[in-house]
């Protein structure tokens, strides 16, 4: 299958928007958008200048690649709805946390096309820096997905279900959990009428160090030093926020299991 394949995007959320626009900008043929919500499908289709529908039965019969850009918990349901109309198309989802095998009961050709990035409508992705993790049952389909990924990005890896599952857990720690900690820090400062910008240089330095060397070797702070007195004072300051206090204690003990606090 060549990169001139006829592409159908299922979904009209953040990933669908960003991938759709990127595919179109690189001259790839996005022929149809399908979404349960007609308004969302039409809006994305207008941007991509292609056909749209909210009726599964109107899936293009000559589609070559069906890209499921839907929520993880909707993948199996959407796959089941599309299966009777999919003909012999390659069907992939974009999830990091869902096995590609979830598509096996529905399609003869299936795989995964997972861009490892957090997408938002407010920011434009830097495509050259986004790792694309691809996999498929058939080698020709793997080659096709790699070509597509290389066309719209730069970093391409073949990653199987087991590897991708571990990668997704690691991404949650590196992205979602760290961002939650940023959010807690922002709220703590706000309570004392301090601006979150005070922490920006520290956050930038922390990330720079983690990218420079092993994060474990770059670890600093009272927990790694075994500074129990400081930790106890911090826990006392968090008395009005028991959830944050528990998180602080658990993280400190994870950093240094030998702590006595």
Burial code (b: 16+ CB inside 10 Å, e: under 16) for 169-189 equals: eebeeeeeeeeeeeebbeeee
For the segment 7-39, what is each residue's pLDDT rounded down to a tens digit? 999 999 999 999 999 999 999 989 999 999 999
Percent pLDDT > 70 in the chain is 99
pTM (global) more than 0.85: yes
What's the CATH architecture for 165-255?
Orthogonal Bundle (1.10)
The 10s digit of each residue's pLDDT in 69-128 is 999 999 999 999 999 999 899 999 999 999 999 999 999 999 999 999 999 888 899 999
Delimiting residues of CATH 1.10.1040.20 domain(s) in the chain:
165-255
Distance in angstroms (rounded) separating the CA atoms of residues 90 and 106: 11
For the chain, counts of helices (H) and of strands (E) = 11, 8
CATH number for domain 6-159, candidates 3.30.465.10, 3.40.50.720, 3.30.1360.30, 3.30.420.40:
3.40.50.720
Straight-line distance from the first to the last Cα atom of the chain, in angstroms, rounded to the nearest whole number? 61
Three-class DSSP category at 157: strand
Report the half-sphere exposure of 256 (CA within 13 A, side-chain side): 18
pLDDT attached to residue 2: 61
Please list the residue range(s) of the chain that carry CATH number 3.40.50.720. Answer: 6-159
Question: Per-residue pLDDT averaged across 212-218, rounded?
Answer: 94
**pLDDT band at residue 3 under the 50/70/90 scheme:** low
Residues in a beta bridge with 134: 113, 158
């Amino acid at each position: 299958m060549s990169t001139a394949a006829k592409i159908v995007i299922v979904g009209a959320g953040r990933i669908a928007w960003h991938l759709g626009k990127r595919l179109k900008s690189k001259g790839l043929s996005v022929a149809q958008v399908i979404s349960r919500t007609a308004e969302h499908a039409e809006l994305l289709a207008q941007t991509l200048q292609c056909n749209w529908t909210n009726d599964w039965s109107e899936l293009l019969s000559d589609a070559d690649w069906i890209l499921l850009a839907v929520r993880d918990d909707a993948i199996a349901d959407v796959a089941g709805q599309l299966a009777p109309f999919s003909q012999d198309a390659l069907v992939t989802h974009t999830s990091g946390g869902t096995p590609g095998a979830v598509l096996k009961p529905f399609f003869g050709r299936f795989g995964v096309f997972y861009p490892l990035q957090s997408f938002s409508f407010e920011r434009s992705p830097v495509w050259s820096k986004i790792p694309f993790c691809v996999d498929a049952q058939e080698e020709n389909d793997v080659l096709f997905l790699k070509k597509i990924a290389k066309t719209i990005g730069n970093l391409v890896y073949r990653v199987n279900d087991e590897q991708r599952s571990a990668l997704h857990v690691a991404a949650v720690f590196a992205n979602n959990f760290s961002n939650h900690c940023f959010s807690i820090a922002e709220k703590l400062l706000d309570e004392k009428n301090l601006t979150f910008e005070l922490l920006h240089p520290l956050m930038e330095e922390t990330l720079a160090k983690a990218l420079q060397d092993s994060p474990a070797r770059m670890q600093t702070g009272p927990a790694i030093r075994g500074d129990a007195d400081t930790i106890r004072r911090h826990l006392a300051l968090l008395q009005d926020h028991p959830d944050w206090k528990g998180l602080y204690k658990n993280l400190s003990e994870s950093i240094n299991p030998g702590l006595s606090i």
